[in-house]
Structure 1
Amino acid sequence: MQQTITNSKRTLIVAIVLSAAFVSILNQTLLMIAMPPIMADFQIDASAAQWLTTIYLLTNGILIPITAYLIGRFSNRALLLTALSLFTVGTLIGAFAPNYPVLLGARVIQAAGAGIIMPLMQTIILTLYPKEQRGSVMGIAGLVTGFAPAVGPTLAGWLLTYFTWRHLFYTVLPVALVVILLVFVFMKNVTPKQERQFDMLSIVYSTFGWGGLLYGFSMVGSVGFTSWYVLISLAVGIVALFMFIRRQFKLPTPILEFRVFQSKVFTISTLLSVLVYALMIGTQILLTFYVQNVRELSALQTGIILLPGALLMGFMSPVTGKIFDKFGGRGLALYGFTSITFALAVYMFLSVTTPIWIIAILFAFISLGIAMIMMPLTTAGMNALPGHLMPHGTAVNSTLRMVGGAIVTALLVTAMSGTMSYLDDVSADAMLIGIRVAFVIATILSVLGLALSFMLKENKRNS
């Protein structure tokens, strides 16, 4: 299949799938800071508004694990058109939602499409290119997918300053429609279709397993680990996930192939990329609390502070991709986690007088480390797998990133709120102490990542 596609067509296909990924990521980051005006419009409280994010996460978590089955069962073109159509319909409904339940439903439809797009994008790109070129092209993917969260908060802050939250959906909608048109006209199928059995029991286990874990950990920050429905959700998730994994080993054609973990390179690379993604999400949330609640700056100012680092991450991704193709991932992981650990360690000493430019520079160090680790190690893990397992590898990687992000975020937010409870103080000073404690934990996790990086074998591709 791959040999029949010319270089120009291959480049066009990559551009199309990256555009699809860009619009889905941009949508997710745009809505993150739009909760206050939505709450005011629909007369809902913060816990209800939080469900606009939680339901998106849950739907993604349910859809992503079965993308390996979908990629094997249906053509790339049909699957991408379906995913983008779902996403666009959800965006259209969200733009004109007359009430909160309709907006919540729109987020579910959006997430159903977005959950398919990201693993499909990675699988298509990795299938199109030989191993020695995958680092460079995944680096370009990192540039595109890194640019969306870089501009998202700042763009959202600007739109919310001059327009309404509905304009966030208006902004995404025409871009999504253009991408659908491009897919319809130019998209080619690049991965072989396989006859697969649809196992309904596996889907049920997967839904309750990943959904239970994601829901439980996503609610920890607001209600704590001791909440009975958090504990029940986590218990259901763990049991269902155990049943799901056990069933996959018994099926002749599993929905999600966990034998990918038989590869040591894939296992270590995936753990490190999941850890660095979780640290990225956790750091952004802690800095948002610090900038907005402790320093009392606006959401737009928060986006501007994070923007230089996020742009650096995007623009460095192609560079680190080329370095990976030439030298492998071990050195990148070591330098990356060193950069992240340094910045997190300095964040442990934040004060109310810390210059904002120092906050921005330290986040740039973290972003540089992420650029060195995320896409290169994801590529290293995929390179260790045979072609028929690649859709399963991308689905496992994407799913674990979401779960890891939810777990680490819950851990850090709980550390912050737990410190405030221990101090019996809800002031900005108490929150600052809690944020410092959370950054201590984040630094320890980064040190663990640095230590685990030494287990990656040296892989110089130019030798």
Structure 2
Amino acid sequence: MAMAALMIGAFVGMLSETSLNIALPQLMDAFHVGSGTIQWLVTGYMLIIGIILPLSSLLTKWFTTRQLVISGLCAFLFGAIISALAPSFEILLLGRMIQGVGTGIVLPLMFTVAMQIFPPNRLGAAMGVCAMVIMLAPAIGPTVTGLILAKLSWNWIFWMFVPFLVVAIIFAFTSLKNTTEITKPKIDYLSIIESAIGFASLVASVSLASDLGLTSPLVIGLFILAIVVLVLYVHRQLMLENPILNLKIFSIPQFRTGALLVMIDFGIILSAMYLLPQFIQNGLSIAVALTGIIMLPGGIINALTSAIAGRIYDSQGAKKPTILGFIIALIGALMLALATPTAPVWYIILAQIILMIGCPLAMSPAQTYALNAIQGPESADGSTIMNTLQQIVGAIATAVATILLAAGQNTIAGSSAVKFTNGTHYGFYFTLVLIVIGLLLSLTIKEDQHS
């Protein structure tokens, strides 16, 4: 019951992050804006999350868990209502960015609280359920949005968040207790400024690259600014006695390996789930509502596998399920990379199901493996670091997939369906590269006491 408010909040946050992709064409028509402008609904949301997430560990030392969760859920509710009622693109973007504040607060807290309230022998199962919440949203987002857009206006995408958030706020008031120690450490404002500029510039540069191109002066300038500021930020965190983010935990091999595997896995999921609904619509010429239904079986399998994967960690450890997960994901991604405009629907559903078995099978054990290496106050830092890097990698993976999608379409002659299919092949080659890197890295997992 204590976790219910956090899980619902994190689910709605991730659903909001991934469900809007399928609605962007309708929003372009509704507000009479181009693809470069409309992309800010995704970029702006991730931008705010990228600024708020690195501050999560600091916030837990200044405010109670209950205060933070209720504030985050209320911010998201307020943002969703603004977005649903938005008369202009600017107001819609403002609503999206307020939602980003809520997600940035609630998302890392879910893992931090789980680390505090579950004993080690049940942590794998608990993390499995948390991973299921995170993984289910990107998988069912297109389905839900497709069904809404088939019958209702785009406003209802935002209205659907409201009942979930109201229930989560009720759970937060009735069941949530404080799990972290309030120490109110001295705040290093320069670190906060560096964090905001560095992470925001990085997310903005990779997001804009998909629209403006890699050689755009703005993209290059933002990327250089991000690297310089983040190097200064990392150096400052390592020097401070009470850093905003305790980056020293990267010196723990178990945490480092697990965190990298989680980042790669998240990149695999977001790149594939960005490409697949577009391929179904533009490559296979299937309507938006049916696209959502086609993607539903994979979403259900994803959720079930996530829940089971946590329990597998409790009995088998991390190495076996992680390696097996990446091997299975490799088969699914390869099937999608070989799909043609005449591919039968059952083939696409099967390929997505295989991918959605592999990714969560690797994700949940890797995450628990990383977080098990750290204890006490460091668990909040570990959770914050992993969630921050997930969002950054997610933004980068989506941007790279977009760039490759456009590049692939321009290298072949033929119908629009043939050209778009070639573009998605280029994008799925990137997904395959990530899977191979993840598989090789998973071989370095040290067998632990479970094995």
* TM-score normalised by the chain length of structure 1: 0.93
- 2:143 pairs with 1:166: no
User: In 2, Cα distance between the equivalents of 1:151 and 1:427?
Assistant: 27
Name the CA shift for 1:444/1:146 in 2 (closer, same or farther; >3 Å). Answer: closer
| Cα pair 2:64 2:182 within 8 Å, conserved | yes
Give the structure 2 partner of residue 304 of structure 1.
Answer: 293
- After TM superposition, give the deviation of residue 423 of structure 1 in Å: 4.3
Mean CA deviation greater in 20-29 or 129-138? 20-29
- 2:358 pairs with 1:363: no
Give the structure 1 partner of residue 188 of structure 2.
Answer: 199
Mean CA deviation greater in 221-230 or 57-66? 221-230
Corresponding residue to 1:343 among 306, 312, 332: 332
Aligned to 2:410, the other structure's residue is in SS state: helix
- After TM superposition, give the deviation of residue 412 of structure 1 in Å: 2.8
User: In 1, Cα distance between the equivalents of 2:239 and 2:3?
Assistant: 36
Give the structure 1 partner of residue 52 of structure 2.
Answer: 63
Deviations 1:425-447 (A, max 9, x none): 88332232232233233223211
Corresponding residue to 1:117 among 98, 103, 106: 106
User: In 2, Cα distance between the equivalents of 1:336 and 1:199?
Assistant: 41
Instruction: Give the letter aligned to residue 387 of structure 2.
Output: S
Deviations 1:198-250 (A, max 9, x none): 11111111111111111111122222211111111111111111111111112
Unaligned runs of 5+ in 1: 1-11
Mean CA deviation greater in 191-200 or 258-267? 191-200
- After TM superposition, give the deviation of residue 117 of structure 1 in Å: 0.7
Instruction: Give the letter aligned to residue 186 of structure 2.
Output: Q
| Cα pair 2:122 2:314 within 8 Å, conserved | yes
| Cα pair 1:146 1:311 within 8 Å, conserved | no
| Cα pair 1:327 1:459 within 8 Å, conserved | no
Corresponding residue to 2:254 among 241, 265, 280: 265
User: In 2, Cα distance between the equivalents of 1:42 and 1:435?
Assistant: 28
| Cα pair 2:341 2:417 within 8 Å, conserved | no
- 2:319 pairs with 1:330: yes
User: In 2, Cα distance between the equivalents of 1:408 and 1:144?
Assistant: 21
| Cα pair 1:138 1:379 within 8 Å, conserved | yes
- 2:281 pairs with 1:292: yes
Corresponding residue to 2:227 among 238, 242, 252: 238
Give the structure 1 partner of residue 72 of structure 2.
Answer: 83
| Cα pair 2:259 2:367 within 8 Å, conserved | yes
Aligned to 2:2, the other structure's residue is in SS state: helix
User: In 1, Cα distance between the equivalents of 2:58 and 2:120?
Assistant: 23
Corresponding residue to 1:106 among 67, 91, 95: 95
Corresponding residue to 2:63 among 45, 62, 74: 74
- After TM superposition, give the deviation of residue 130 of structure 1 in Å: 1.8
- After TM superposition, give the deviation of residue 288 of structure 1 in Å: 2.4
Give the structure 1 partner of residue 207 of structure 2.
Answer: 218
User: In 1, Cα distance between the equivalents of 2:278 and 2:22?
Assistant: 12
Q: Percent identity?
A: 31
Give the structure 2 partner of residue 384 of structure 1.
Answer: 373
Give the structure 2 partner of residue 418 of structure 1.
Answer: 407
Deviations 1:127-173 (A, max 9, x none): 11122211101112233333333332222212212111111222211
| Cα pair 2:138 2:273 within 8 Å, conserved | no
Aligned to 2:261, the other structure's residue is in SS state: helix
- After TM superposition, give the deviation of residue 424 of structure 1 in Å: 7.4
Give the structure 1 partner of residue 9 of structure 2.
Answer: 20
Unaligned runs of 5+ in 2: none
Name the CA shift for 1:345/1:129 in 2 (closer, same or farther; >3 Å). Answer: same
- 2:292 pairs with 1:316: no
Mean CA deviation greater in 54-63 or 88-97? 88-97
Deviations 1:266-302 (A, max 9, x none): 1111111110110111111222232111112122222
| Cα pair 2:408 2:425 within 8 Å, conserved | no
User: In 2, Cα distance between the equivalents of 1:408 and 1:17?
Assistant: 26
Name the CA shift for 1:147/1:440 in 2 (closer, same or farther; >3 Å). Answer: closer
| Cα pair 2:147 2:292 within 8 Å, conserved | no
| Cα pair 1:420 1:426 within 8 Å, conserved | no
| Cα pair 1:348 1:436 within 8 Å, conserved | yes
Give the structure 1 partner of residue 41 of structure 2.
Answer: 52
Give the structure 1 partner of residue 81 of structure 2.
Answer: 92
Corresponding residue to 1:405 among 372, 377, 394: 394
- After TM superposition, give the deviation of residue 460 of structure 1 in Å: 4.1
User: In 2, Cα distance between the equivalents of 1:400 and 1:46?
Assistant: 26
- The structure 1 segments of at least 4 consecutive aligned residues displaced by more than 6 Å after TM superposition are none
| Cα pair 1:145 1:314 within 8 Å, conserved | no
Deviations 1:302-352 (A, max 9, x none): 222221112111112221111101111100111000001112222232211
Instruction: Give the letter aligned to residue 309 of structure 1.
Output: G
User: In 2, Cα distance between the equivalents of 1:196 and 1:115?
Assistant: 21
Aligned to 1:34, the other structure's residue is in SS state: helix
User: In 1, Cα distance between the equivalents of 2:290 and 2:216?
Assistant: 34
User: In 1, Cα distance between the equivalents of 2:94 and 2:401?
Assistant: 29
Corresponding residue to 1:428 among 387, 392, 417: 417
Name the CA shift for 1:19/1:408 in 2 (closer, same or farther; >3 Å). Answer: closer
Aligned length: 451
User: In 2, Cα distance between the equivalents of 1:56 and 1:74?
Assistant: 24
- After TM superposition, give the deviation of residue 449 of structure 1 in Å: 1.2
Name the CA shift for 1:300/1:210 in 2 (closer, same or farther; >3 Å). Answer: same
Aligned to 2:178, the other structure's residue is in SS state: coil
Instruction: Give the letter aligned to residue 400 of structure 1.
Output: L
Give the structure 1 partner of residue 30 of structure 2.
Answer: 41
